[in-house]
Amino acid sequence: MIRAATVHDVTEIRAMIRELAAYERAEEQARATEEQLREALFGAHPAAHALIAEDDDTGTTVGFALWFPRFATWTGRCGMHLEDLYVRPHARGGGHGKALLAALASLCERNGYERFEWWVLAWNEPTIEFYRSLGVELLEEWTVCRLNGEPLKTLAAQAPPVHDTAD
């Protein structure tokens, strides 16, 4: 079963984020707290949304998808960015990942989103093959850019004043 996450799922979502980070060999980078996730998903101005996959027989949580809308300047329309998709190892191959992606595709259709995009690690061949089986287009001509830590602070310190002209 796929359902919208509720505030009661935050502990489980955080646990699965840490499991995903361990699988991706970056556990130390998964620093989000339950409080941060609660605010991001269920606060006054949610920054993201999540779906939960549950085992049909036991009702236990076996996976999640966390996403947010994004705007495409070239098309002038919104799309969806999938930040995390995770199915626990014991439940893989049971159709939960495909069900989560299908539910997200349906949300895209209902909301008039033109694009549904996400990233996948280049070494994660089993997942890449799964995505290919769904007809996903791999945009290999694009490279993800990231600025954080000291380089982010250094560049921010060079910012000119930004004037608000909204009067």
**Catalytic residue numbers?**
131
Close Cβ partners of 147 (under 8 Å, ≥ 6 residues apart)? 155
Cross-strand partners of 77:
72
Contact in structure between 133 and 99 (CB atoms under 8 Å): no
Contact in structure between 85 and 100 (CB atoms under 8 Å): yes
**Which strands make up the sheet holding 116-118, listed edge to edge?**
2-4, 49-54, 61-72, 77-87, 116-118
C-alpha distances in Å from residue 15, one per residue of 30, 33, 102, 129, 166: 10, 10, 23, 26, 42
Close Cβ partners of 156 (under 8 Å, ≥ 6 residues apart)? none
